[in-house]
Structure 1
Amino acid sequence: MRSTPHAETFPAHTPATAQVFTTVLSHGPLTRLEAGRRAGLSPAAVTKAVRPLLASGYLVEGGPGDGGGPEEGGTREAARPALGRPAGLVRVNGERALFAGVKATGDELIAVLTDLCCRVRLARRAPLPDRAAGPALAALADLVHELLTHAAESRAAVAGLGIAVSGDVDRAEGVVRYSPFLDWRDVPLAELAATACGLPVTVDNDVRALTVAEQWFGAGAGLSDFALVTVGAGIGCGLVVHGRVVAGAHGVAGEIGHLVVDPAGPRCHCGNRGCVEAIAGDAAIVARVREATGRDVPDSAAAVALAHQGVPGAREVYARAGEAIGRGIAAVANLLGPERVIISGEGLAAYDLFAAQIRQAFTTAAFGSAARCDVQIRPLPFEEWARGAAATAIQTFITHGTGSGKG
């Protein structure tokens, strides 16, 4: 990640400053006392932490009636002040900075402009006619510059760009090691995009980026342990353990799509047989529906339509996919014991076709108390994945500022 000469710098002089800000961002508006309780800091430490944030306008403080709901910067319920003197609420000033986020698929770029609270100001889409890194980067830069033109009308500066890409992504180095849907290998995307767009850039795996957004602003807020499973072109899994998004030593933690659930199953592109993705990924389902029905099935939408029409063989393909996903989720629950598993992704258009099989396979394969894990369905459009990319840029900005490297 590269900084522009006049890039905004977040005043995170101590880890406590970033910790308090993140706490208020995810759960605020909060009283200082409640912010300290949630962050595990003393009142004196909170006072010291919020001082530069208030002075620089990243936090604002008001009376007990100030702060409001999400539209005013509060993303969670406000803490109730104790009896006696009313406690002022601290909230994030969402207008203080803007961020761009881009989600890259195999044929499209989806971009959003958000404020500091990750509320979407503008969303744009552009086709990706050429997946080669050079032309794709040029298309991405054009889309980002469109967002920057819109942002120029605001008083706030765009402080960072997040890019979410499927596959093996080294966030620390800003390099896409391997993206199967883009066919990229060892692309230094953060460096290239920083040069093309003139912004500090954070690059991350798309599922991990979406997990960051869910942890801070969505169904995972307030949970110390949860998993996000995405169903679509691939089967992905983002993991939060003890409050931290887990990438693993080599950046590939959570590859639920390559858990083998049927050793005699179909060949996966990874080289193994019977992976969850080889049974439940979009391409696998389309191929199986073609075989089962003997019809020309061009894409997943057509496969879903045949199953909904009751064409013999089509529903069975989805039932098998649901069983594979359920067993994969159970493996995650057995290993990590998350409080919640959130199921999302573009493949949820077919959720009614395999929902029962997912839950049945999960219940059967989950061991003991792991079966009590709260499984939630949360359909999210690709704009939310782009918002996840923006969330990673916000995360980098808060925790490292703009001069720390690649995030």
Structure 2
Amino acid sequence: MTPRRQSGRAPVTSPASATVFTTVLTQGPVSRVEVARRTGLSSAAVTKAARPLIEAGYLTELDSEQTGIGRPVSPLEVRADREFFLGIKITDSELIGVVTDLRAQILVTRFHRLPSRKPDAVVSGVAEMAAELLALSPKYTKRTNSLGVTVAGDVDREAGHVRYSPFLHWQDVQLAEPIGEATGLETTVDNDVKAITVAERWFGDGIGAPSFALVTLGTGIGCGLVVNGAVVTGSHGVAGEIGHIPVAGDGPLCHCGATGCVEAIASTDAIVAQARTATGERGLTMAEIVTRARTGDQALQRVFARAGVAIGRGLAAMANLVGPERIIVSGEGLDAYDLFADELRETFATHAFGAAAQCELILRPLPFEEWARGAAAVAVQTLFIS
């Protein structure tokens, strides 16, 4: 399929216009004077940058309001329905897809089973889901240009290339180009946790925090970092891999080849494996393990306690190195938080050095569709990144 023309897209043609647009997008409605104050741009520069965005329908002026002595102001606001974005998260067994508006608010969600992990089958599945989402409304078909796709693992976003994805069993898979050809959409591929971090930075608990971290607990343990207002990727795209911080020298072997990693002790799969070993029951499920631990099974309680210590050490190491203002802890693994909360917090407090221990811990569930919302937030970024 031929990529669709990018006509009518936001006229973000300079650093100033990108700054004004992102400020109104994430903090609006906000007056030009306030945009100038927050960004350091002159009032004239703000007005010049805002004008083409208003003319193109991406920004709108609200009714004038009197804020005190002086002239009334007309706050700027984003027209959230001016453009729509698709986000698709690839797991080892399904695709989670959403349509969002400019503010990454989810409008539609779809779940598709993934019959095969082979790259060609995944590309076909993503294309089918994208076509289904677009067909839900004529306005989606007309005003959607960008698709964000996320996977767990080591992703080279610039090249659209998945270097390694443990749960898909992929090595060196080119993904963005074939998906773009199949869908006709401008396609960006990114690591799933880094994508959610983008969503948090612009639209969630990261708003107003120059530095924060997002840690996800579940099948894997991931971390996205924002430092000085920017998502940190590192020179090789793997910054923030808290799951592979070694926290136990004699710990179990990790799928990465090292031993004693946080993920090898505290991921869902690791907890299940340790629980089965502790009980000798090879068929135990995570749900059964959680239930039995909550009803007093001490062997299983020790498994969760060990996981809490490992996570606490990983969080403390990251806080000591980066010094974030807050750490947001989320993911499906948080459902069992009551079983390792004390160990996590006590270990963090013990190992965080000095003022790093004052870092705020925010605990919040992560519905599965939020992974796809993160992918859509990456697509929103294409308005600002050439």
**C-alpha displacement of 1:297:** 3.9
Distance 1:34 1:47 in 2: 12
AA aligned opposite 1:43: S
| Corresponding position of 1:278 | 264
Distance 1:6 1:372 in 2: 46
AA aligned opposite 2:36: G
Distance 1:317 1:204 in 2: 32
Q: Which runs of 5+ in 2 are unaligned?
A: none
Q: Does 1:308 align with 2:294?
A: yes
Q: Which runs of 5+ in 1 are unaligned?
A: 66-79, 401-407
Q: Which of 316, 319, 325 is the equivalent residue of 1:333?
A: 319
**C-alpha displacement of 1:85:** 2.8
**C-alpha displacement of 1:3:** 4.5
Q: Which of 349, 354, 357 is the equivalent residue of 2:343?
A: 357
AA aligned opposite 1:202: T
**C-alpha displacement of 1:312:** 3.0
Q: How does 1:368-383 map to 2 (within 5 A)?
A: 368-383=354-369
User: Which string of whole-angstrom CA distances, capped at 9 and with x for unpartnered residues, describes residues 16-74 of structure 1?
Assistant: 10111011111111011111222221111101110110110100011256xxxxxxxxx
Distance 1:305 1:8 in 2: 54
Q: Which one has more relative contact order, counting CA pairs under 8 Å at least 6 apart?
A: 1
User: Which string of whole-angstrom CA distances, capped at 9 and with x for unpartnered residues, describes residues 150-173 of structure 1?
Assistant: 132558511200001100000011
Distance 2:299 2:245 in 1: 25
Asked if the contact 2:219/2:268 (under 8 Å) is kept, the reply is yes
Distance 2:68 2:159 in 1: 47
Which deviates more from structure 2 when the two are superposed, residues 3-12 or residues 219-228?
3-12
| Corresponding position of 1:42 | 42
Q: How does 1:1-400 map to 2 (within 5 A)?
A: 3-64=3-64, 81-154=67-140, 157-400=143-386
Asked if the contact 1:264/1:273 (under 8 Å) is kept, the reply is yes
Q: CA 1:155–1:232 in structure 2 vs 1: closer, same or farther (change >3 Å)?
A: closer
Asked if the contact 2:6/2:145 (under 8 Å) is kept, the reply is no
Cα RMSD (Å): 1.5
Which deviates more from structure 2 when the two are superposed, residues 80-89 or residues 357-366?
80-89
Distance 2:332 2:314 in 1: 18
**C-alpha displacement of 1:4:** 2.2
AA aligned opposite 1:398: F
Which deviates more from structure 2 when the two are superposed, residues 336-345 or residues 128-137?
128-137
Q: CA 1:116–1:309 in structure 2 vs 1: closer, same or farther (change >3 Å)?
A: same
Q: Write out the 4+ residue segments of structure 1 that deviate beyond 6 Å after TM superposition.
A: none
Q: What percentage of residue pairs aligned between the two structures are identical? A: 54
